[in-house]
């Protein structure tokens, strides 16, 4: 039986031109399969061509990520444009890798144009204006999508700090004007109602008394106005018991019938017992040894018992 011979793999090297914008080059390197797979995934001529063509939309997205909304990119393998190559790339000598060029034409960087924010309902326009007072996005800034999304998240964070736990983005519209090289943004934001905390629930404990944990959380939260900082303090108080490896606070997606926000704490208990020790040596006093045994949850109420012993100056 004669087996078909596999086509030879191609060694290639990638060059990006131009390299004036370091952030843009980093963005391209992060998304390009040509770059990421060059050393780890050998390929033949057809595979290299397919890899290059699949990179074209990724390069366009990288250009937009840095604000070059009118930019373009093309890829050449050994001088041939990959969209209409005259021949299929052939294997090259490992000492002379096939040249692959990512050629960019960024053009001018677009800027943020008009920024509009509309509250739903419109009666919350004043609240939305107050939340947007410290927004780190202004006309003339580079039109980077990541900056726009960061500003959006900061806006929602400010609304939550103002006591609106269900603040959300109803719609975001971004209009690119290639004549003025600007990007206009319109946000429709629903702040949602003010709310107090409902009585918290706790899930995940196996030995620790759940009712005890819920009372601990309720003393800090139940009936109090919603505030992310207050919720974080309650989470830290539960971690401070010393019996959990982690505590995560999960906010409800809607208010309950009493118009309060449900909160569930998800916990994971640490091993009940711990044993440890250490050894040391001093020239003048000799060997020192110590050890401890700890029970982190004796009766299920987060009680702790720790026994320690130390032996020093041996010799």
Query: What is the pLDDT, as a whole number, of residue 294?
Result: 67
Asked if 176 and 168 touch (Cβ cutoff 8 Å), the reply is no
pLDDT mean over 263-270: 93
Q: pLDDT by residue (tens digit) across 31-60? A: 999 999 988 888 888 899 999 999 999 999
pLDDT tens by residue, 70-109? 999 999 999 999 998 877 877 666 568 889 999 999 999 9
Q: Look at 133-137, 139-143, 291-295 and tell me which has the smallest mean pLDDT.
A: 291-295
The predicted pLDDT at position 1 comes to 45
Full-model pTM: 0.79
CA distances from 57 to 17, 61, 211 (A): 17, 6, 55
Worst-scoring range by mean pLDDT, 115-119, 132-136, 247-251?
Answer: 132-136
Say if CB 222 and CB 198 are below 8 A apart: yes
- Angle at the Cα of 184 from the Cα atoms of 181 and 186, rounded to 5 degrees: 170
311 Rama class: left (phi>0) / alpha (psi -120 to 50) / beta: beta
pLDDT higher than 80, residue 137: yes
């Amino acid at each position: 039986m004669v087996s078909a011979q596999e086509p030879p793999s191609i060694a290639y090297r990638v060059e990006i031109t131009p390299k004036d914008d370091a952030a843009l080059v980093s963005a391209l390197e992060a998304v390009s399969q040509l770059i990421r797979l060059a050393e780890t995934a050998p390929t033949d001529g057809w595979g290299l061509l397919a890899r290059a063509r699949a990179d074209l939309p990724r390069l366009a997205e990288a250009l937009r990520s840095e604000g070059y909304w009118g930019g373009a990119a093309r890829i050449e393998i050994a001088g041939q444009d990959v969209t209409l190559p005259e021949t299929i790339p052939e294997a090259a000598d490992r000492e002379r890798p096939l040249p692959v060029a990512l050629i960019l034409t960024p053009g001018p960087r677009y800027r943020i144009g008009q920024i509009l924010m509309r509250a739903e309902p419109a009666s919350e326009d004043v609240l939305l204006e107050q939340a947007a007072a410290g927004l780190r996005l202004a006309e003339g800034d580079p039109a980077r999508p990541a900056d726009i999304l960061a500003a959006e998240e900061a806006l929602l964070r400010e609304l939550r700090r103002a006591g609106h736990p269900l603040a959300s983005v109803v719609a975001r519209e971004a209009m690119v004007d290639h004549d003025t090289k600007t990007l206009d943004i319109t946000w429709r934001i629903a702040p949602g109602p003010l709310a107090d905390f409902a009585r918290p629930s706790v899930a995940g404990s196996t030995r620790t008394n759940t009712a005890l944990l819920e009372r601990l959380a309720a003393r800090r939260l139940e009936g109090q106005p919603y505030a992310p900082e207050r919720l974080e303090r309650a989470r830290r108080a539960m971690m401070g018991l010393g019996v959990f490896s982690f505590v995560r606070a999960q906010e409800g997606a809607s208010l309950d019938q009493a118009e309060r926000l449900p909160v569930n704490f998800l916990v994971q208990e640490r091993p009940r017992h711990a044993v440890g020790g250490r050894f040391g040596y001093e020239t003048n006093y000799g060997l020192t040894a110590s050890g401890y045994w700890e029970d982190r949850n004796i009766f299920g109420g987060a009680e702790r018992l720790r026994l320690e012993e130390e032996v020093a100056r041996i010799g």
